[in-house]
Amino acid sequence: MKKIIYLSIFIAFLAQTLANSATNIIEKFENLSDLKEIASDGAKIKLSIENLENGNCLKLEYEFSGAGYCGIEKVFPFQLPTNYKFSFSIKGHSPKNNLEFKLVDKTGDNVWWRNQRNFDFPIIWEKINIKKRDIEFAWGPVGGGEVKNFERIQIIIAAAEGGKGTIYIDDLVFEEIVPPLNPEALPTINSSESKDKNLNNLIDGNLKTVWQNKTKSDKQSLTIDLQYMKELGGMVIHWGESKQASSFSVAVSNDRVNWEKVYSIANNWLTRNFIYMKDIDARYVKISLEKSNDKNGYTIKEIEIKDPKFSQNLNDFFTNVASYYKEGLFPKYFSNKQSYWTIIGVSEDPKEAMINEQGAIEIDKSSFSIEPFIQIDNKLITWSDVKLSQHLEKEYIPIPSVQWQSQKINLEIKALAFGEPNKSDLLVKYTLTNTTKKVLAGKFLLAIRPYQVNPKWQFLNNEGGISKIKEISYDNYLIKINKNKVVVPLTQPDDFGVTKFSEGEIIDYLSKNVFPQNQTVEDKFGFASGCMSYNLTLGPGKTEEYIIKIPFHDSDIKPILESAQQPSKFFAKNLADQIAFWEEKLDKIKINLPSIGDKVIKTMRTYLGYILINKDGPSIQPGSRSYERSWIRDGALTSSALLRLGLKDEVRTYLEWFSQYQFPTGKIPCVVDKRGADPTPENDSHGQYIFALLQYFKFTKDTLFLKEKLQNVIGAVNYIEFLTNQRKTDQYKKPDSTVFWGLMPESISHEGYSAKPMHSYWDDFFTIRGLRDAVEIALILNEKELAHRFEKLRDEFGTDLLNSINLAIKNHNIDYIPGCAELGDFDATSTTIALFPCNEQKLLPQKELINTFEKYYQFCLNRISSKADWINYTPYELRTVGSFVYLNQRDRAHKLLDFFFDDQRPSAWNHWAEVVWKNIDEPRFIGDMPHTWVGSDYINSIRSMFVYEDDLDSSLVLGAGLKMEWIDSDEGVIVANLPTYYGSLSYSIKKELGAYIVSVSGDIKFPRNNIVFKNFKKEKPSKVFVDGIEYSNYNTDEIVIDHTPSTLRIEY
């Protein structure tokens, strides 16, 4: 009889299983005939068939010389069904690199993928399942949506750590997932000990209905029949108070005969257990209760069986966990609200910490955070219970702080980094102040938690959100995390405790005013947490300081412990040292404005500091997380900003470092990082490199440096010629292609055309700038033949570029400068570079140029007045502030600047993210904060308000963006020691007795067309005196100054 029952169960199970899937073997890897190898420049790949324990499989050997990718492609045209999954087996010996599974449509332009970043390749065979929900749109002109059909399948290894490795791939399979026969069937539940009807209370979705069992036997089980095979995402078990199982396990089965244990716990005290399940398919779920907490049975309020979305990834899991807690007990981003941050570090060190606006500190990239809590009157105070504010030291030095203000007690969190590059440490001071007239007693708590400050939606380069903690130990006043990080409480805690996630997140303890007893923990799940606890007795108006130190790098323990002897003095000394360091770096130039202009200059100084913090050794980088790479694009313009603020050595070391990555062909890589040069073509890079070299010379007059780099310049120009010649073939004489004649080939450019490469005028503007600068470099070095050759290339390319722009305007019937030749797209933020740094303003079609910025400004006015419905923007738009200065429209420049200032989040940290969302809480990617290419755009725009070089006119322009409120103030405007191409410049403007006194001085070698002082009023001066003598060389727009020092008296 039992055999018949089991046979019936098996037949039903088999029928359901067969109904639920239809398998198609795509590739068994018996030979290489249907496979195509793919490799980027600089990546080596070798494919072969290897016979291993299970038969033939693919062997893929690869080696990266820098960034890049390689892999296989199989043509496999396919129409996808409603639901499906792919799978393949993989093993190998390889560094952590990205494992990309791609579906490519028949155009080759649109790609969907599953990108497993920093994939840890298993050394034994592991099956990779890729379900429909795992596949997302990667790039392409269709812009998004789910994949319906594809032409090709690719399995790609993309460099993360880089290096070389060998991997094996076998059995690429497709399975259609057919819906269950009866999807509406409701789960049922039964107990090994009882047929109590109240069992249904466990799965009725109502916490108010409970199941109670008072049997004398602790050991019993509850089995849930889901009615058909389901993919599970997890479980939440809600227990009655003091009636939970202290020991229980969870197992799953497809047939109720063979069970797989997926969770167990032996020391449960929680009234709510969160059970993570990933890639688990089952029909039956069994909870085995093994020991009651009070030895008097169990009470369960509800058992929630969660679908796959509950744990699509670990960030989703913790987002769902956090939803069961009140706000403030988990990071803000787990409530799907944006959380902003800034960085902490020393100049040129590769390590940076981050502090968010709530006061949590991420101690290193992709690392855990330290988060404060206060316990007063048995109430836990979190970031959500206080008024938050943020500050910088002296309002511009990049030493950030966060303040909590509550009814009884205030907290200041101040963080700094100190030490030499590659030997630096993080130092944090927490200051509590009693604001009442009574003694306050309680605890100050510093929690170590497995979450980054970097929010979960930050995906580029480093995924934000969770950060695994597998081990914590506390010994001799040192807290060791994951064996590779040390937290040193210089102010020693009164208690320290740790917990593994299954036995409670640290917040489960703190919110219940209890404390974990263990001081060492290992958590296989990887989400241990801990807490330093300080007993608090604080008199009225009194303060107490708590100081911790975290070495960024391997550090000698002895000096760490010595610094613990007088923590407050230790912090004060390092704070003073860092303030002095930053003042010396950031105050090289002097710009004094009235208080209404403070924000302008303080943001400029702060951004200079952020640039140096983001800089890793010689490498200039726009960010410390998402953009921790060195693009020559960002580096060239940031170098320009550094030079304009008086920093030269940093630029030289950067250019020396980047030059070594030039390809033998002369190609300049678009980006370099720890893996080496990235082969991706972005055809602005060659001109930007040449531009940066000449910029360094312009501010240093270092002819020897220029001579050393001449071969690099020749190589870059040769490569430019090679590329432009590709657009001078017969194909581009045809009417539909003449618009591309002589241009740089299509590329993703400044990543503005990532969806599909285009012939971007951004690339061309930088190319003409590079060719123009190559000519000047050759002339400086007296290389006349070279200069003549470069001039010919420059002039031909300039003609071709202008012809293309005019033809694109005609083809697309537009009245502005387009972003690229194909689309005729409007992109004023891109077109700005034609003005600065490319200085092509006078060579472009003037009507369309003016229309471009008129159209952009009208859009901005509508955005400011909310007439335009906008969602987000990138603060690269700060370039346009400079554009309006160059167009002699200073009022517009300041109107835009005021708008952009409103989106510094938080305002006191003086920076922007790469992306600004209109909704301040929008839970979306924002890039790095601070984004220092945005910062260099800001610096270059603000500097242009005070002075800029007009290369084509060979003049130095002063005061083009000065605000009348600054000039008319009692303080006036003072500029001192401002570097220019022509030497150091100082000037001042002050209103006196109905006239304006302008004093100009400096060590200036006058340009051919002298110094041009822009008239700051809209009317022509009635009289101008220079050094007391009436002067006539002026008009409504400007006054020409032909010597220094000189004093002007301007009357209206």
Whether 407 and 380 map to the same domain: the answer is yes
- Check pLDDT > 90 for residue 754: no
**CATH number, domain with residue 984:** 2.60.420
* Domain assignment of residue 480, yes or no: yes
**Tokens 């960024």 belong to residue:** 552
Query: 144 and 289 share a domain?
Result: no
Q: How far, in Å, are 643, 705, 769 from residue 708 at the CA level?
A: 20, 5, 21
CATH number of residue 418's parent domain? 2.70.98.10
How confident is residue 303, by pLDDT bands cut at 50, 70 and 90? very high
Mean pLDDT of 213-234: 90
Looking at 524, 550, 585, which one is the last position of a domain?
585
CATH assignment of the domain containing 283:
2.60.120.260
Q: Is 326 part of any domain? A: no
Query: How many angstroms from the chain centroid is the CA of residue 990?
Result: 44
- Strand segments (E) across 918-1037: 947-950, 955-958, 973-980, 983-992, 995-1004, 1011-1014, 1023-1026, 1029-1031
299: Cβ contacts below 8 Å, ≥ 6 apart: 210, 211, 212, 213, 239, 240, 241, 243, 244
Same domain membership, residue 958 and residue 1023: yes
HSE-CB at 230 with a 13 A cutoff on CA atoms is 24
Whether residues 140 and 217 share a domain: the answer is no
b/e map 773-811, b = 16+ CB within 10 Å:
bbbbbbebeebeebbebbbebbeebbebbbebbeebbee
Q: Is residue 837 part of a domain?
A: yes
From residue 660, give the alpha-carbon distance in Å to each of 622, 636, 714, 775, 934.
20, 16, 15, 22, 26
Q: Please give the share of the chain, as a percent, with pLDDT higher than 90.
A: 90
Stretch 368-386: mean pLDDT? 98
User: Between the CA atoms of 907, 909, 911 and 913, what dihedral angle is there, to the nearest 10 degrees?
Assistant: -90
Q: Would you call 350 helix, strand, or coil by DSSP?
A: coil
Segments of 523-608 assigned E as strands: 529-538, 543-551, 590-592
User: Any idea which residue has 């602005």 for tokens?
Assistant: 684
615: left (phi over 0), alpha (psi -120 to 50) or beta: beta
**What is the reported pTM?**
0.93
Average pLDDT over residues 170-196: 89
CATH number (domain holding residue 602) = 1.50.10.10
DSSP 589: S
**Alpha-carbon separation of residue 296 from 208, 217, 242, 245, 267 (angstroms):** 21, 9, 10, 10, 17
Say if residues 281 and 129 touch (Cβ distance below 8 Å): no
Residues 6+ apart with CB under 8 A from 61: 45, 46, 47, 48, 164, 165, 166
694-728: pLDDT as tens digits? 999 999 999 999 999 999 999 999 999 999 999 99
Q: What angle do CA 754, 755, 756 make, to 5 degrees?
A: 90
Same domain, 170 and 201: no
| Domain endpoint, select from 279, 312, 345 | 312
Residues 663 and 528 in one domain: no
Please name the residue ranges forming H helices in 587-709. 598-614, 632-644, 649-659, 685-700, 703-708
Q: What is the pLDDT of residue 1?
A: 38
The DSSP call for residue 744 is P
* pLDDT band at 842; cut points 50, 70, 90: confident
Beta carbons within 10 angstroms of residue 91's beta carbon: 18
Say whether both 577 and 596 belong to one domain.
no
The mean pLDDT value for 331-347 works out to: 99
For the stretch 770-811, pLDDT in tens is 999 999 999 999 999 999 999 999 999 999 999 999 999 999
Of the pLDDT bands very low, low, confident and very high (cuts 50, 70, 90), residue 296 is confident
Domain count, the chain: 5
Distance CA 883, CA 738 (A): 30
User: Going by DSSP bridges, is the β-strand pair 272-292/341-344 parallel, antiparallel, or unpaired?
Assistant: unpaired
> Predicted confidence band at 26 (pLDDT cuts at 50, 70, 90)?
very high
- Phi/psi of residue 649, nearest 5 degrees: -60, -40
> Residues 6 or more apart from 793 whose CB is under 8 A from it?
717, 720, 721, 771
Q: How far apart are CA 538 and CA 377, in angstroms?
A: 13
| Average pLDDT estimate for 555-582 | 84
8 domain-assigned: no
pLDDT tens string 864-881:
998 888 999 999 999 999
Pair (430, 371) in one structural domain? yes
Within a domain: 1047: yes
pLDDT at 182: 87
Residues 219, 159: one domain?
no
What is the arrangement of strands in the sheet containing 425-434, beginning at the earlier edge strand?
A: 387-393, 397-405, 409-418, 425-434, 543-551, 485-489, 478-481, 471-475, 520-522
Question: What CATH code is carried by the domain that includes residue 93?
Answer: 2.60.120.430
Same domain, 248 and 308: yes
Closest CA to 272 of 232, 302, 308: 302
Q: What is the arithmetic mean of pLDDT over 1031-1047?
A: 95
- Give residue 218's pLDDT: 82
Residue 532 structural domain: 332-585
Element (H, E) at 317: helix 314-322
User: Quick count: other Cβ atoms within 10 Å of Cβ 339?
Assistant: 22
50/55 Cα distance (integer angstroms):
8
Measured CA distances, 758 to 666, 743, 749, 753, 822 (Å):
22, 11, 8, 6, 7
- Say what the pLDDT of residue 130 is: 95
| Helices first, then strands: H and E counts in the chain | 19, 52
Rounded-to-integer distance, Cα 547 and Cα 564, Å = 9
How far apart are the two ends of the chain, measured CA to CA in Å? 112
In a domain, 228, yes or no: yes
For 423-472, write each residue's pLDDT tens digit: 999 999 999 999 999 999 999 999 999 999 999 999 998 899 999 999 99
- CA 242 vs. chain centroid, Å, equals 45
> Does 719 share its domain with 675?
yes
Claim to verify: residue 1038 and residue 943 sit in the same structural domain: no
The mean of the pLDDT values for the chain is 95
pLDDT tens sequence across 118-128: 999 999 999 99
In the chain, the percentage of residues whose pLDDT exceeds 70 is 97
- How far lies 986's CA from each of 92, 886, 992, 1002, in Å? 64, 21, 19, 5
Instruction: Tell which of 922, 947, 972 closes a domain.
Output: 947
Angstrom distance (rounded) from CA 352 to CA 342? 10
User: Is 76 a domain residue?
Assistant: yes
Residue 843 domain flag: yes
128 CB burial (10 A radius; 0-12, 13-18, 19+): buried
Per-residue pLDDT of 645-667, as tens digits, reads: 999 999 999 999 999 999 999 99
pLDDT at 17: 42
Q: Which residue has the tokens 């990779």?
A: 128
